[in-house]
């Protein structure tokens, strides 16, 4: 199985901040990296696919990058609705695996 790790596990930030979350895979996943946002009591929602592409409707303040085994999710100009938990997920090989999550809360 491909092990996904994330750092930090949590962070505190303020509205307007720029936030970066890092995701690492235990082996190269050739850019097959997705990001999800989850709010309490809700299902995860797709935020970024294939490392850096945004699904329709996702605000452009979200961006993704990276390659090989290290990837980033950046939220520029953090908004109140962005306080949530973020998960990375590799879609390179089965079993599909998720990172443990990064909780972004209000400073």
**Interacting residues with another protein (CB under 8 A):** 1, 32, 34, 36, 42-46, 49-50, 53, 55, 87, 89, 91, 94-101
Is residue 33 classed as helix, strand or coil in its secondary structure?
strand
Round to whole Å and give the CA distance between 85 and 54: 18
With residue 5 as reference, give the H or E element that holds it.
strand 4-7
CB of residue 15 to another protein, shortest distance in Å: 27
Cβ closest to another protein, residue 94 vs residue 107: 94
CB of residue 3 to another protein, shortest distance in Å: 12
Cβ closest to another protein, residue 64 vs residue 78: 64
Cβ closest to another protein, residue 28 vs residue 77: 28
């Amino acid at each position: 199985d491909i092990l996904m790790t994330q750092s930090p596990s949590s962070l505190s930030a303020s509205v307007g901040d720029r936030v970066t979350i890092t995701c690492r895979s235990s082996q190269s996943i050739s850019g097959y990296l997705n990001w999800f946002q989850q709010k309490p009591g809700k299902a995860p929602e797709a935020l970024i696919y294939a490392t850096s592409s945004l699904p329709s409707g996702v605000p452009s303040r979200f961006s993704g990058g990276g390659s090989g085994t290290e990837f980033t999710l950046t939220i520029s100009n953090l908004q109140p609705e962005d306080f949530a938990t973020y998960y990375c997920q590799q879609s390179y090989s089965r079993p599909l695996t998720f990172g443990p999550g990064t909780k972004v809360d209000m400073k």
